[in-house]
Amino acid sequence: MKIAIIGHGNVGGALASRWAQAGHLCVIGARDPKSDKVIDLIQGNNGVSATEVKHCVRGAGAILVATPPDAIPGIAEEIGDVSNSIIIDATNSMGKKPKGYDNGYEALKALTNARSVVKCFNTTGFENMENPDYNGVKADMFLAGGNKDAKALVEQLAKDAGFGEVYDFGGDDKVALIES
């Protein structure tokens, strides 16, 4: 599957590496895809490439948003039509909320035309994403969202990244429970 990753920091970088190792095609969306930081991320990571944000989402089955949540309005405007994609919200809105919204999930639902939004990958540190295996015991992951099929896809992506159990907290009304 093609996965667009908006945000090439610790979380976006760790998940891009893990998903590429699992056979997914990961495209990093960056303001400057030729920056040293982006080049360092894609070097040695077969299956990871980079382009501008507006281009990375084309044909993506899933879009990971791993940015500060206050960047979401600009991202939503830049990505355009994503009606065939599922957005994975990995943001944490403590301190930096998108203007007019309680959290990134609400902003992504309101500002994009994505098929669905699922909250996931925001409850653990990036170090656990780089290696979620502790002497044979895999770390768990949590998700929430309103679409059962979208959550099943994100659950599989969590397992593809090396996580063990993936716990579904429920629908849109439960997203705040895993907002950290």
At 108, phi and psi to the nearest 5? Answer: -65, -40
**Taking a C-beta distance cutoff of 8 angstroms, is the pair 11, 129 a contact?**
yes
CATH of residue 52:
3.40.50.720
E-only strand ranges, 124-165:
133-134, 137-138, 141-145
**Taking a C-beta distance cutoff of 8 angstroms, is the pair 36, 30 a contact?**
no
Mean pLDDT of 60-85: 95
Which residues are paired to 62 by β-bridges?
3, 86
Pairing of strands 48-51, 25-29: parallel
* Enclosing H/E stretch for 89: strand 86-89
Pairing of strands 86-89, 25-29: unpaired
- pLDDT tens sequence across 102-132: 999 999 999 999 989 999 999 999 999 999 9
Cβ neighbour number for residue 109 with a 10 Å cutoff? 19
Q: What is the pLDDT confidence band of residue 22, given thresholds at 50, 70 and 90? A: very high
**How far is the C-alpha of 115 from the C-alpha of 134, rounded, in Å?**
35
pLDDT reported for residue 180: 63
pTM for this model (two decimals):
0.96
> Which residue carries 């007019």 as its tokens?
100
At 92, phi and psi to the nearest 5? Answer: -125, 125
The number of domains in the chain is: 1
- The closest alpha carbon to 143, from 172, 108, 107, belongs to 172
Mean pLDDT of 41-66: 95
Which residues form the domain of 89? 2-178
